[in-house]
Amino acid sequence: MSQNLQAFWKKFVDTYVFKLLYILILLVILSILYGAFHLVYQPVLIVLPSSIAFIIAAYALYRLIYNICMRLTFPGYNWIWKRYMESYFQKQTTTNLIKDINDLKDVIECVMQEKNFGYSVKCEDVTKIPYSISSIIKLFKKQEVSRTISKKQKNMMESFSEIQKLVENIKVISKDDKITSSLWNFLQGNQKELIKKINKRPGLVLSFEDSNQANFLLAKCQNLEKALKEITRQRSSFANFIHWLSEDSFGTLDQVREEMDETYVAKRISLPVVGKSTLDCILIMGHADHNSSSNENENKSKFDPSKTTMIFCQPNAGYYEAMLQDSEWIDFYLENGLNVFLWNYRGFARSTGTPNPDLIRRDGESVVDYLRQELGVKKIGVHGQSLGGLVATHLAKHKSLDYLCADRTFSEIANIAELTYGRIAGALY
């Protein structure tokens, strides 16, 4: 009996309740649109005839609906989505830095207490500690040069720089044979005699030459760790929202772009396009052919137009900066010797303008023209993921490209909108 009752209620909910909910939502939307229509219609009616006022109000309503659809189609155009992505990057960066500072504290406490280094230090690779500290300082300094650094980022740069200076100056001594090294050189693996001793004899005991300096360094690490944890601390809903809006110590798109410059051999490009807009782009050089030149470093720094260049067209919510975290496709193309051209749609991140399907197709054509006419690229491929297929399939057909990778995608938004929401939705595109 109970199973029959459950089946009845499930059928009732599926058949009637959800339909009623859909109708209720539709009525709310229609009420809002009706109110928006009259918000324009009534003031215009004061000075113009009713027929003209109706046409103006109807057009204004159409533009409102169209702009809402465009913002839903291209969420990367919205500041809120940009902030969401930056918050995501910040959480990842901050979590990694907390771990690195905690590992540094662990090393300092181990040496202060003169414990067996190889057995007591939890960090498996201490060389990551100085690399992480110097890398984040380098990014901040690059932001300082490009004038994209915020006040909070300057404060963080000063804190990390102070830690680095202290670690570089403080000396550690092996207890048995009195070999001396700066803690920084030791962590970097530059003090080969001590590193050999750790590898051969994990029970190596170190001590600090100046215990007061060591205590001061430990206190600075604790303060920095506290400041980093404050960034990721859970707050009340409202306080958490305010913090989410304003916190920019790490993970801003400006910082991620600087990190991409450090990670890859790349060239940043600002490409003028139709409508006085500009596209923010980055051209990443493919890995050098080791058989082509004995001077590998020089070869890596030059763009080779004879190589195939793949244009990557992002999903609807995608920024090219996000590919630093999700780099499988970049790595795949680079490892196979291809150059990779990444770009943000107009209105996304540092690209200017307002996106719509027709304009981003034309922007894609401008990218192809730039590669062919300005850089002399002979072979061009395009990879379109999700919404990026809208551009990729268009370019492959109308610009006669050599390769097309259509990655879980479609060629027309209107077809998807009509299939999902009906003919009216399809007509908006």
pLDDT of residue 288: 63
Same structural domain for residues 173 and 318? no
pLDDT of residue 422: 67
pLDDT of residue 174: 81
The CATH number of the domain holding residue 296 is: 3.40.50.1820
Which of 16, 46, 73 represents a domain boundary (last residue)? 73
Same structural domain for residues 333 and 399? yes
Same structural domain for residues 92 and 61? no
Q: Are 428 and 417 in contact (CB under 8 A)?
A: yes
278 φ, ψ (degrees, to nearest 5):
-130, 145
* Residue 364 amino acid letter: G
Same structural domain for residues 87 and 178? yes
What tokens does 349 get?
């991140």
pLDDT of residue 290: 39
pLDDT of residue 424: 67
Which of 56, 73, 90 represents a domain boundary (last residue)? 73
Kindly give, in sequence order, each residue whose CB lies less than 8 Å from that of residue 271, ignoring residues fewer than 6 positions away: 278, 279, 281, 343, 366, 367, 370
Tell me the pLDDT tens digit for each residue of 88-146: 999 999 999 999 999 999 999 988 988 876 666 777 778 899 999 999 999 999 999 99
Whether residue 251 lies inside any domain: the answer is no
Same structural domain for residues 219 and 305? no
* Residue 174 amino acid letter: S
Same structural domain for residues 190 and 320? no
- H or E, element range at 277: strand 277-284
The stretches of 113-174 forming alpha helices (DSSP H) are 117-120, 128-146, 151-169
DSSP 13: I
Same structural domain for residues 54 and 89? no
Domain extent at residue 66: 2-73
pLDDT of residue 248: 95
Tell me the pLDDT tens digit for each residue of 365-412: 999 999 999 999 999 999 999 999 999 999 999 999 999 999 988 878
Q: In angstroms, rounded to a whole number, what is the distance separating the alpha carbons of residues 300 and 257?
A: 20
Q: What share of the chain is helix, strand, coil (3-state, %, to 5)?
A: 60, 10, 25
Whether residue 64 lies inside any domain: the answer is yes
pLDDT of residue 7: 66
pLDDT of residue 24: 85
Whether residue 188 lies inside any domain: the answer is yes
How far from chain centre, in Å, is Cα 391?
A: 21
Same structural domain for residues 85 and 25? no
Whether residue 387 lies inside any domain: the answer is yes
What tokens does 133 get?
């500290």
Whether residue 328 lies inside any domain: the answer is yes
Q: In angstroms, rounded to a whole number, what is the distance separating the alpha carbons of residues 330 and 310?
A: 9
pLDDT < 70 positions in the chain: 1-18, 117-120, 177, 190-203, 288-301, 418, 420-422, 424-429
What tokens does 411 get?
């060629």
Report strand pairing: 403-407 vs 180-182.
unpaired
Same structural domain for residues 186 and 294? no
Same structural domain for residues 24 and 162? no
* Residue 331 amino acid letter: D
Whether residue 238 lies inside any domain: the answer is no
Same structural domain for residues 85 and 138? yes
Q: In angstroms, rounded to a whole number, what is the distance separating the alpha carbons of residues 149 and 146?
A: 8
pLDDT of residue 204: 73
pLDDT of residue 416: 73
**Helices 50-73 and 18-47, interaxial angle, to 10°?**
130
How many domains does one find in the chain?
3
pLDDT of residue 235: 87
pLDDT of residue 298: 47
Whether residue 369 lies inside any domain: the answer is yes
Same structural domain for residues 150 and 91? yes
Which is nearest to 382 in space by CA: 409, 422, 359, 358? 409
Which of 212, 232, 252 represents a domain boundary (last residue)? 232
Whether residue 253 lies inside any domain: the answer is no
Q: Are 360 and 345 in contact (CB under 8 A)?
A: yes
Question: Which residues are bridge partners to 406 per DSSP?
Answer: 384
